[in-house]
Structure 1
Amino acid sequence: MPLALVALVISAFGIGTTEFVVSGLLPEIANDMHVTLSTAGLLISGYAMGVVIGGPVVTALGIRMPRKAMLILLIVLFITGNLLAAVAPDYWLLMIGRVLAAICHGAFFGIGSVVAADLVDESKRSHAISLVFTGLTVANVVGSPLGTFVGQNLGWRSTFLMITGLGLISLIGIIALVPQQPVQEGASVRQELKVLALPQVWLAVGIAACSIGALFAAYTYIAPLLTEITGFSSGALTPLLMLFGTGLVIGNLLGGRFADRAQITTLLAFLGLLTVVLVVFTFTAHAKIPAAITLMFLGGAGFGTVPAFMTRAIDKAQGAPTLGSAIAASGANLGISVGAYLGGRTIDAGYGYTSPIWVGVGMAALGLAITALSAALDRRDKTTTVGALEPAAHSG
């Protein structure tokens, strides 16, 4: 593995930690900031919207900058946002810090995926992208639980100071290890925005939103499901969520390996598996050991799609890979927001804590349909290309 990838993985770990850790610190933040728990919860929604909107905008505006310089700028933004969160005297400055960090998140995974893909041979691009996202998945297993532990024992501000330190390490790593990559020839905002007219890019975004949305429709409400339905104690949640995080890591790495061989087949396989696992989970949620096993498979099936849809967005962006990648990353976060919202509505409607899982089933099935449509367009384009070449061959 190129050392530059190590720097990207460390950065992804820090970014993933700051995204996920707030969920475990909401009571402490709400109490210290003198706001309600639901108001504190908006720190998660604000972060998500910062990723969805800020990522593509910043990526497009920085398209004429060298990618290494953009990564450095983004990590500086990440450090600034988390440092502001650590010292924020009031709720709204804390929110601003979260949004600044979120803007880094959206653009970093878009640019970082392209940088990672360019560091390796053509046949290993999906695997390289999966390694970057490994940092994000490991944050679920190690970073978020560690940050929650630090915040609960030393105060939530200590957690953001810890993450700021991770940002400084990431900055040093990127400066020292990531090679300079030339600015894409003819790059401009207008050229990048042409990606918005490409159907296959939007289909890749749809796959991203549906696959990750399906995963988080179920996962967002996993704590009450495991305690109220399965019967686990609240103390068992940390090891159970670490088990889920382990599934994320394994699925992400396997997805990267398989996607280098066949993108569409990988997407269909993991989305199909995700659909089945979600349906099974509605039954296994009522028994402890089967629920724990299913939870790990849920993480693996859900995140196994990530390297494939990220590589596909880069491939289909036709001269604008950075923005295509950033839009796909934002699509995944939009899917998280939609899945969590719809799952919450089913609970509010009185259908119980297993009802969000069925929202996930529907989103995964929609993802399968979008993937099939994208594959059909591939076949049509290939047929059109062959048909156009045959007359030229005969005339020669």
Structure 2
Amino acid sequence: MKKSLLTLTLGGLGIGITEFVMMGLLPDIAKDLNITIPQAGHLISSYALGVVVGAPLLVAIAGSYPPKKILLALMIMFTAFNALSAFSPDYHMMLAARFLAGLPHGAFFGVGSVVASRIAGKGKEAQAVSLMFAGLTIANVIGVPLGTYIGHHYSWRYTFVIIVIVGLITLLSLKLWMPNLPATKDRDLKKELAFFKLPEAWLIILMIAIGTGGLFSWYSYIAPLLTDVSGFSPDSITYILVLAGLGMLVGNFIGGKLADRFSPAKASVSLLIAMAITLFIVHYISENQILSLVMTFITGAVAFALAAPIQMLMINTAKGSEMIAASVSQASFNIGNALGAFLGGLPLAAGYDYTSPVWVGTVMALTGALFAWMLISRNKKMILAK
């Protein structure tokens, strides 16, 4: 792996821990801050909202600077606001800290995706992007289970201290290893924003925002699902999250190869349908511990196989606006995060059990697949019309 790509992987690792560790820490944070689990779920949504706001805004403001300077500035923000999370004294401060910590997330992946595709070998752009997203999957294999273990046995605040340390290491690696790529010359922000006038742009945004919400309807409430329905002990959740993370790691690299071999749009629609099927199965097998473990791995793999295809789909569609479009895809992904956590919590608030969120996720994944199919159909019509 090129050292320059490793810096992006490290950034993805830190971002992945802070985004996904909340799912395993929900019971601990809820108890410590004296709130309910659905209220603690709002901390997930708050972070996602920060990503949605920060992704296009920060790229629009900083897009004329060299990519290395942008990435350094974003990682400084990430590190500082996660430090604030570690010391938040109450629910409201934590809610604000999570929002602020989410601001640099989408912009980092947006800028990082464009950088990765520029320094990749020809025909391996999606695989280079998947190396950056590998940080997210490594976070789910190592960082999230470790953070969950520390949260269960010591304090969830120590978990955020670890995130800050990863942020500092990433800053050092960016400073030393990231090449000084030139800034975009003669940047025309108005022209870049014209991308959002394209129907294809909104089909992709809807596909990501709704379709990937299926993942978060399941993953946001995975801890109580495994303990209350599957019958696992709270101490075993750490190890099961490792299994989910391994699935995500495998799926991420498969997704990168699929997007390079086939079209990103075809890969996306196929994987969204596969996600809906896996979530449907999860609902019916959750009381069986062995099958629950198998489906935890498979669902994680299918969900994260989407990462590289949807990112490349957005970049390929946005010629001349790649950086802001790539950041918007991350914002859309986190709209899915917020929607999945919120909508998945509604049946819980209504008194249904912890298998009910996966029904919400199944519908969301199928809806995302519908938007992907509409995009493919529209592109075929445009080709035939030429």
TM over 0.5: same fold? yes
TM-score with structure 1 setting the length: 0.90
Match of 1:393 in 2: none
Equivalent residue runs for 1:1-396 within 5 Å: 1-26=1-26, 29=29, 35-37=34-36, 41-88=41-88, 92-262=92-262, 263-385=264-386
* 4+ residue runs over 6 A deviation: none
CA RMSD of aligned residues (A): 2.1
Distance 1:94 1:290, change over 3 A: closer
Indicate conservation of the 8 Å contact 1:80/1:97, yes or no: no
Q: Is the 8 A contact 1:21 1:144 kept in 2?
A: yes
Give the distance between the partners of 2:102 and 2:95, measured in 1 at CA: 10
CA deviation after TM superposition for structure 1 residue 92, in Å: 4.9
Instruction: Report the residue type matching 1:361 in the other structure.
Output: T
Cα pair distance change 1:335/1:259, threshold 3 Å: same
Contact 2:210 2:339 in 1 (8 A): no
User: What is the CA–CA distance in structure 2 between the aligned matches of 1:282 and 1:249, rounded to whole Å?
Assistant: 23
Alignment-mate amino acid for residue 73 of structure 2: L
Shift of 1:40: 5.1
Is there any run of 5+ residues in structure 2 with no aligned partner, and where? none
Asked which structure has the greater RCO (Cα within 8 Å, sep 6+), the reply is 2
Alpha carbons of structure 1 residues 273 and 319: separation in structure 2 relative to 1, 3 Å: same
For 1:123, what is the secondary structure of its paired residue? coil
Distance change in 2, residues 1:84/1:286 (3 Å) = closer
Cα offset for 1:312?
A: 0.6
Change (3 A) 1:156 1:237: closer
- Which amino acid in structure 2 is aligned with residue 53 of structure 1? V
Change (3 A) 1:288 1:152: closer
Letter in 1 for 2:258: F
Is the 1:212–1:303 contact (alpha carbons within 8 Å) kept by the matching residues of 2?
no
Report the 3-state secondary structure (helix = DSSP H, G, I; strand = E; otherwise coil) of the residue aligned with 2:124.
helix
State the AA in 2 paired with 1:300: A
Moved more, 344-353 or 49-58: 344-353
Equivalent position amino acid for 2:367 in 1: L
Describe the shift of the 1:362–1:24 C-alpha distance in structure 2 as closer, same or farther (beyond 3 A).
closer
Residue type of the partner of 2:259?
Answer: A
277 and 91 in structure 1: CA distance in 2 versus 1, 3 angstrom threshold: closer
> Residue 145 of structure 2 contacts residue 239 of structure 2 at CA under 8 Å; is this kept in 1?
no
Normalising by structure 2, we get a TM-score of 0.92
Residues 29/243 of structure 1: CA separation in 2 closer, same or farther (3 Å cut) = closer
Judged with a 3 Å threshold, the aligned counterparts in structure 2 of structure 1 residues 155 and 344 are, in CA distance, closer, same or farther, namely closer
Kindly name which structure, 1 or 2, has the bigger radius of gyration based on alpha carbons. Answer: 1
Amino acid in the other structure paired with 1:201: A
Counterpart secondary structure, 2:212: helix
Look up the equivalent residue of 1:12 and give its one-letter code.
G
Distance of 1:52 and 1:290 partners within structure 2: 35
CA distance in 2, matches of 1:13, 1:45: 20
User: Secondary structure, in 3 states, of the residue corresponding to 1:352?
Assistant: coil
State the distance in 1 between where 2:101 and 2:172 align. Answer: 18
Tell me the CA shift for residue 211 of structure 1: 3.0
Post-superposition CA distance 1:2-38 (Å, at most 9, x none): 2111011011101111222344445655666x55346
Asked whether the 8 Å contact 2:259–2:308 carries over to 1, the reply is yes
Q: Is the 8 A contact 2:256 2:309 kept in 1?
A: yes
Higher mean alpha-carbon deviation, 190-199 vs 302-311, is at 190-199
Residue correspondences, number: 384
Moved more, 193-202 or 349-358: 349-358
- Matches of 1:69 and 1:99, distance apart in 2: 23
Three-state SS of the structure 2 residue aligned to 1:260 is helix
**Identity value in percent:** 38
What are structure 1's unaligned runs of at least 5 residues? 386-396
After superposition, the Cα gap between the structure-2 partners of 1:264 and 1:89, relative to the gap in structure 1 and judged at 3 Å, is closer
SS at match of 2:261: coil
Q: Residue 77 of structure 1: CA displacement?
A: 0.8
Q: 1:50-105: CA deviations, max 9, x gaps? A: 01111111111111111111001001111211223334556555444333321111
